[in-house]
Amino acid sequence: MHKLNIGGLFMIKKETCKNKDFVVIFGKPGSGKGTISSMFCKEEKEMHNLNIISFSTGEYLRKLKQDPKMYKLYKQEFDKMDQGKRVSNKLVIAAVKKAIMDAEDGIIFDGFPRNEYQAKWLYEYLKSIGQNLNSVIILDVPDNEVLRRLSSRKTCPVCGKVYNSDYKSNYCKCGHTLIVRDDDTEFVIKNRLNDYKKYSKEVLSYFKSLSDNIKFYNINANRPKEKVLKDFIRVF
């Protein structure tokens, strides 16, 4: 909390009153949401000393799955994940709520919301703490590009960094062995793509139905990541 001395009176200004940036990044699996948002957050930190984080519910769940206790507790949820199906709202909302409570300067939500219930929760929760959802930024890529990207990508199970087929080593730059995600097989990728088509319509039409100031942007993400990032920075 900051104390402001205004006209001799001390006023308490809660941290929560500060306007933070809350943005949803949308796009098919493999559209580069994780890559672009992490590049953006790094740049914001270096250029403006802002601690905006990229919060991926999928990455959160993959980390949770590695904890044997959690794996046992939520096995049914992780089985759904492996098939490309969504996990329960309760599990992801609890994680997102904690991330929002800890947010210093803002959050880019990656993989959340994934249905109208989550979208409504996000919108109303931000309002209840005096914050707003600024914008929804959609990364557009064609289906064949998604299939090409996902069937050749490797992920670090520890730091979450994603590598494409150009990266020949089996080791992450952080030193850990890279893996192919359990849900990056052709059959599951197709399920995830179909799921995206369903939930993106539902979530976007909910946000668009609100008479609020949320902005919507589409970016062509079928280009080198530096170009995509430039557009992302411009609209953020």
Q: Given the rule CB under 6 A, which residues bind ligand AMP?
A: 29, 56-58, 61, 80-81, 84-87, 92, 111-112, 114, 118, 183, 192
The pair of structure tokens assigned to 120 is 């409504």
Q: Among residues 87 and 228, whose Cβ is nearest to ligand AMP?
A: 87
Q: What's the closest the beta carbon of residue 2 comes to ligand AMP, in angstroms?
A: 34
Task: Return the exposure string of 147-172: e unless at least 16 CB atoms fall within 10 Å of the residue's CB, then b.
Answer: bebbeebbbbeeebbbbeeebeeeeb
Identify the CA nearest to 139 among candidates 68, 83, 62, 216.
216
Q: What's the closest the beta carbon of residue 221 comes to ligand AMP, in angstroms?
A: 15
Q: Among residues 50 and 148, whose Cβ is nearest to ligand AMP?
A: 148
Q: Among residues 50 and 191, whose Cβ is nearest to ligand AMP?
A: 191
Q: Among residues 34 and 234, whose Cβ is nearest to ligand AMP?
A: 34
Q: Among residues 187 and 213, whose Cβ is nearest to ligand AMP?
A: 187
Q: Among residues 84 and 106, whose Cβ is nearest to ligand AMP?
A: 84
Q: What's the closest the beta carbon of residue 197 comes to ligand AMP, in angstroms?
A: 13
Q: Are 52 and 38 in contact (CB under 8 A)?
A: no
**Residues in Cβ contact with 227 at an 8 Å cutoff, skipping those fewer than 6 apart:** none
Q: Which residue is nearest to ligand AMP (CB)?
A: 58
Q: What's the closest the beta carbon of residue 41 comes to ligand AMP, in angstroms?
A: 17
Q: What's the closest the beta carbon of residue 11 comes to ligand AMP, in angstroms?
A: 38
Q: What's the closest the beta carbon of residue 33 comes to ligand AMP, in angstroms?
A: 8
Q: What's the closest the beta carbon of residue 158 comes to ligand AMP, in angstroms?
A: 16
The pair of structure tokens assigned to 55 is 């919060």
Q: Among residues 14 and 75, whose Cβ is nearest to ligand AMP?
A: 75
